[in-house]
Amino acid sequence: MRLFRTIQLAFKSLLLHKLRSGLTMLGIVFGVFSVIAMLAIGEGASQQAQQQVLSLGATNIIIRSVKPPDDPAASQSSSGGRGGSVQRYGLTRADYKILEETIPNLTGSGLVPVRELNLEARRLGQVTSSRIVGCTADYLEMNHLAIAAGRFISDRDNFDMANTAVLAYGTAMSLFPIDNPIGQSIQIKGRAYRVVGVTQERTASAAVGGSLSGQDFNKDIYIPLSTLQSLLNSGDVFSRILPGSFSAESVIYNQITLQVSSIDVVERTAEVVRETLERTHDKKNDYDVVVPLELLRQAEQLRNIFNIVLGSVAGISLLVGGIGIMNIMLATVTERTREIGIRRALGARQRDIVNQFITETIALSGTGGLIGMAMGLSTPYVFAGGKWILKEFILDSSAAGSEMGKMFLGMEPVIAVWSLPVAFGFSVVTGLVFGVYPARAAAKLDPIEALRHT
Amino acid sequence: MKYAARLINLRKHYQLGDHEVQALRGVSLDIPEGDFLAIMGSSGSGKSTMLNLLGALDRPTSGQYLLRDRDVSEMTDDELSEARNSLIGFIFQSFNLIQQYTVLENIEVPLLYRSGTTSISAADRQKCLLLADRVGLTERLDHRPFQLSGGQQQRVAIARALVNDPTIILADEPTGNLDSATGEEIMRILTELHDEGRTIIMVTHEADVAANANRQIIMKDGVIASEGILPGNKRVRA
């Protein structure tokens, strides 16, 4: 009851100077707001990273073929001055075999090899450039794709080298804008393929580091791996004629995905894989092992660093707000010396004066904290609004596609629930800490001098 | 005879730079209950120092100040606060109301600092309303000091001084900032309080104001120069 009264009277004193109290409060408002907003941005980014990593499969180990940097010695020896070169690199059948035989802890799906090509697909008048993915039946599950209609590539298709194709949602939309693609045929490099299924739409995954750049699963066409390999000239060589030069590269598999039986053995197994490939590839840098679980760990570490950095920046703004409060409270004490004298004459102890001024300071900073919290809660909406304005009025599509634009448009702040009480608590503590000195200064005034003060 | 306050050889010295200022040089004074005492004197006479000591705002250098039965001379700061709160009612020349509070809230201020009690009860509130009525401010309970005339403000201060039923009422130039008509009004209230049996000590330099008291002392150079009933005294207590 007494506390309630004290707080009520504190607000009365603060309301006496509305503008001053409001301005003083702003420091805390923005401090708390920025703490919550910063942490929300960090939390959003880390959740996105986690989702992306998890969509790669936490129990997966992904080995990708990487085109080694052009080594002059190597290219000379292979080109031989015949006007063209065939660059051989990446994962081979031997790799596949040795991995299949030696790596422990694999699940039933085991190893899923993939060969990818970027080619045009045609159907009647429609042409679209797609990523042709030669794969096996297990590809679907390992990449967390889902079938929207029909079926996926089956083991039987691979055995038969069947000319079947499964379209990703985006491809299906551009090749078959109106009619149902199932059962129809499309053409790739002059060969016809029967469409047997369509996968569900899926948002593109952003780059997660290593060689695994962002993947847009929506422009894929899946065909049996065996069919794709038979399509390539002389086995595995894919040739491309560019103006003024001829180049060909030979890659057996672009990617082999291993799925292990449990999360606990992922890192151990990945180590074995690395050692094995190091031996067979003789330290040639033509492959890369990506372990989503490791990326997840890295992402978590990164988030912690991110949170600490952003949190401290926001914390500094709280500190500055606190100093602002102290400054104003000191001025208030001077200005209200007479009032302090009156209260002391009427029986207020030093303790009562200290309590009064600390209560006022906390009321000020706490109110600021509440307002800041409300503003912080609106962060996601503010962001959504900002993005909308950016898209609609300010940026044309090319600017929105720039790195900065992408970064901003890609931000999805998520309020970290714990940040609300923490930020509010900080605002109260700020009031307490920065209120103590002015309050003690007020209490220490000599009542006689204070009463005489004009 | 019961005493509201007793001063026994009270001295107060200040250190001002190198030399010592003897503001009070041995003052002895008995103030019986129900007394209405006026303290007069020119500036520098020790009048203000005397007022500060009487108001328990300060401690004497030597000597004793007994307020009711309690020795104020040796009190700690907290005890002095408690004594001011429960034993003394202040009325100041410049009213000294708290600007952000309403009339009613101003009257309640001493209640906030009572020892032992934690809140303002309904009975307390009733008492404040009675006091406001007593000084004729029932219509203005929600007004803030700047909305009141000087006389009204001083009446709020009187109500505030009475709220804790003090042993003595200490009035420092209560009419100093008021015109003579309003001043007379305030003096009438003080006289009424005296008639009810309250002990009043008033500091003033105006003889005709001091004449309202039933006893006057005149301070000079830190001692009581003369004491007695001045000519023109209207009231003599039986």
pLDDT in tens, chain B (238 residues): 788 999 999 999 988 888 888 899 999 999 999 999 999 988 888 888 999 999 999 999 999 999 888 898 889 999 999 999 999 999 999 999 998 899 999 999 999 898 877 678 889 999 999 999 999 999 999 999 999 999 999 999 999 999 999 989 999 999 988 999 999 999 999 999 999 999 999 999 888 888 889 889 999 999 998 887 655 445 444 3
* Position A287 in a domain: no
Residues A76 and A223 in one domain: yes
Residues A345 and A223 in one domain: no
Q: Name the strand (E) or helix (H) holding A407.
A: helix A403-410
Written as one letter, the residue type at A310 is L
Residues A32 and A130 in one domain: no
Contact B129, B108 (CB under 8 A): no
Using alpha carbons, select from A124, A255, A119 the residue that is nearest to residue A188: A119
Could you give all domains of chain B from N- to C-terminal order, each with its CATH number? Answer: 34-58+86-228 (3.40.50.300)
Q: How many CB pairs under 8 A join A and B?
A: 73
| pLDDT at position A81 | 41
Residue-wise pLDDT tens digits, A351-387: 999 999 999 999 999 999 999 999 999 988 888 888 8
Using alpha carbons, select from A390, A389, A393 the residue that is nearest to residue A404: A390
Structure-block tokens of residue A17: 């100077």
The shortest C-alpha distance from B226 to chain A (Å) reads 27
CB contact under 8 A, A347 and B119: no
Residues A123 and A7 in one domain: no
Over 70: is that where the pLDDT of A213 sits? no
Over 80: is that where the pLDDT of A232 sits? no
The shortest C-alpha distance from A370 to chain B (Å) reads 24
Residues A83 and A115 in one domain: yes
Domain termination site, one of A261, A287, A312 = A261
Residues of chain A in contact with residue B58, where contact means CB-CB under 8 angstroms, are 448
> Residue A25 belongs to what domain range?
2-51+298-452
Residues A180 and A312 in one domain: no
Residues of chain A in contact with residue B109, where contact means CB-CB under 8 angstroms, are 342-343, 346
Residues A115 and A231 in one domain: yes
| pLDDT at position A71 | 54
More confident residue, A411 or A317: A317
* Position A271 in a domain: no
Domain termination site, one of A261, A283, A318 = A261
- The mean per-residue pLDDT over the stretch A73-85 comes to 45
* Position A422 in a domain: yes
Domain termination site, one of A261, A280, A307 = A261
| pLDDT at position A294 | 81
- b vs e for A56-90, b when ≥16 Cβ sit within 10 Å of the residue's Cβ? bbbbbbbbbbbeeeeeeebeeeeeeeeeebbbbbb
Residues A242 and A116 in one domain: yes
Over 90: is that where the pLDDT of A423 sits? no
* Position A162 in a domain: yes
Contact B216, B210 (CB under 8 A): yes
CB contact under 8 A, A346 and B77: no
- The mean per-residue pLDDT over the stretch A199-210 comes to 61
- If pLDDT is split at 50, 70 and 90, which confidence band does A295 have? confident
| Residue that is written with structure tokens 């600017």 in the block | A399
* Position A136 in a domain: yes
| pLDDT at position A16 | 81
Residues A249 and A341 in one domain: no
A258: left (phi over 0), alpha (psi -120 to 50) or beta: beta
Interface probe for A, chosen from B47, B81, B170 (most Cβ of A below 10 Å), is: B81
Cα separation, A371 vs A55, in Å, equals 38
Residues A7 and A67 in one domain: no
Backbone φ, ψ for residue B206 (5° rounding): -95, 125
Backbone φ, ψ for residue A401 (5° rounding): -85, -10
CB contact under 8 A, B100 and A15: yes
Domains held by chain A: number: 2
* Position A278 in a domain: no
Over 50: is that where the pLDDT of A15 sits? yes
**Which chain A residue lies closest to B96 (C-alpha atoms)?**
A342
Over 70: is that where the pLDDT of A403 sits? no
Residues of chain B in contact with residue A9, where contact means CB-CB under 8 angstroms, are 101, 105
* Position A121 in a domain: yes
| pLDDT at position A77 | 41
**Which chain B residue lies closest to A443 (C-alpha atoms)?**
B77
Residues A80 and A226 in one domain: yes
- b vs e for B24-54, b when ≥16 Cβ sit within 10 Å of the residue's Cβ? beebebebeebbbbbbbbeeebbbbbbbbbb
Residues A69 and A201 in one domain: yes
- If pLDDT is split at 50, 70 and 90, which confidence band does A236 have? low
Q: Name the strand (E) or helix (H) holding B13.
A: strand B3-16
Cα separation, B3 vs B232, in Å, equals 26
The shortest C-alpha distance from B1 to chain A (Å) reads 28
| pLDDT at position B231 | 52
Q: Tell how strand A60-65 and strand A255-260 pair up.
A: antiparallel
* Position A47 in a domain: yes
